[in-house]
Amino acid sequence: MSITEISSAVALLGALSVATERFVEIVKGAIPWLNNEATTAKMEGWRQAALHLLAAMGGIVTALLASSAIKGVVPQGLSSFPGILVIGLLASGGSGFWNSVLTYVKTTKDLKETKAPSLAKEAAPRPVVAMKVG
């Protein structure tokens, strides 16, 4: 997989994560007990668990809805139904994480593109100049 393909896949995961986060925020706004921090530690634990479950389900639904776009970007093994489920779970991890990963991948790609011409120039054979002695 080339750095360009990796960059495209990470950008797709970032977009899916943003969509998943929007979904979670909409549901949280509609269900008050999900939107407000609980007063006891036990209830807060249940609320956090419900939010994680909601994010996982939202990521999977978002990935299923975007499966036609996903199939054009990810390797064939990840475009199957189990692969789409995995992508959905990865998308539920949060767009902040995937945006950071995308920044690292883009930086690597830019560095590689910048170094490639200079490395090619260094590797190019130098012409042999014949000198006449005498």
| Domain residue extents for the chain | 3-114
Q: What is the largest CA-CA distance in the chain?
A: 98
pTM above 0.85, yes or no: no
Higher-pLDDT residue of 50 and 117 is 50
Least confident of 13-27, 51-65, 104-118: 104-118
Radius of gyration of the chain measured on its C-alpha atoms: 24
Calculate the alpha carbon distances from 47 to 28, 32, 55, 80, 100 in Å: 11, 11, 12, 32, 27
Whole-number Å distance between alpha carbons of 59 and 63: 6
Whole-number Å distance between alpha carbons of 110 and 102: 12
